[in-house]
Amino acid sequence: MPLPSPVVPIAAAGSAVKEAAIGARMVARGFATWRTAPRTMAWGLLPAAISAFVLLVLVVAAIAAAFPLGEWTAGLAFEDGSAPHTVARVVIAIAVIGAATLVSIYTFTALALLVGQPFFERISRELDAHDPSLDAEDPEPAWRAAVRGIAEWARLLLLTVPLGLVSLLVGLVPVVGTASAFVLSAGLGGWLLCLELTAYPLSRRGVVSLSERRAALRGHRARAIGFGAAVFVLFLIPGGVVAVMPAAAAGGTALVRSLPADRARRA
């Protein structure tokens, strides 16, 4: 049974801060799945490790290009060796790395879910195992879901790249730019990550397409961003992308189950 689109504003369910905190707690629930399904969660580490290699390549390439780009750009406006030149070079390099991180983390998540579809889908099923109202079979064949997933990944990537450029420009603002860019990246990246990580549980509820997922989460955007931003920050910890990915997949299911529409359906 599809999740109905929410018709009440976010404020009706509480403040945006409270909703974001609820979303962040869903990540902790995802980690709790290690207690109930350790073997299934362990299998989820394999595709995460494979995808992390791709992420590492992208990040290393961004770091390698960031400082030469910062040097060249700063040289257009300031004299080499001057204090403004040095500051501008470092700020530009940090902004480039930050923008590349946003794109890389989203790419990693989408790739991990695609490569490890059987594993992460099984993790999601573990949390829904005791819900008799859900169908045991997927609403579409696996090959069709994979094709659709690739198409949706490409669509969201086209959105992620310009968002990364916006984050880069914000990062160039003196003094407050770096912190503002980080908050912007975590918020925007969190929303995109949430759209990916809720794909499996929402598809079992009849919410299959990207536009349908957006509609299902739109009325609870603060909760969704709180969840995705928490995952985004954990992914920044060295080794976090591999260790956190299974919990993030489980947390996506916990998030869907926490939505008022889904609780009403199970009542």
* CA 185 to chain CA mean position, Å: 11
For residue 6, being part of any structural domain is answered with no
pLDDT of residue 125: 83
Closest CA to 207 of 111, 142, 134: 134
Q: Which letter does DSSP use for residue 238 in this model?
A: T
Distance of CA 236 to the CA centre of its chain: 12
How far apart, in whole angstroms, are the C-alpha atoms of residue 32 and residue 250? 9
Question: 238: which residues sit within 8 A by CB, 6+ positions away?
Answer: none
Give the per-residue pLDDT at 13.
42
Domain span including residue 157: 11-266
pLDDT of res. 158: 67
| Residue 186 lies inside a defined structural domain of this protein | yes
**Does any domain span residue 4?**
no
Question: Is residue 182 domain-resident?
Answer: yes
Closest CA to 191 of 166, 213, 170: 213
The token pair at 158 is: 């086209």
In this structure, what token pair is assigned to residue 255?
A: 């998030």
**Per-residue model confidence (pLDDT) at position 7:** 36
In a domain, 100, yes or no: yes
What is d(CA 17, CA 229) in angstroms, rounded to the nearest whole number? Answer: 13
Please give the pLDDT value at position 267: 56
Contacts of 199 (CB under 8 A, 6+ apart): 113, 149, 152, 213, 252
| 138 SS3 class | coil
What was the pLDDT predicted at 250? 93
Query: Does residue 3 lie in a domain region?
Result: no
Q: How far apart are CA 184 and CA 170, in angstroms?
A: 9
Can you tell me the distance from the alpha carbon of 258 to that of 23, in angstroms, rounded to the nearest whole number?
9
40 is a domain residue:
yes
Whether 49 is in a domain gets the answer yes
SS3 category, 69: helix
Q: Which residues of the chain have pLDDT under 50?
A: 1-13, 136
- Split into its structural domains, the chain has a count of 1
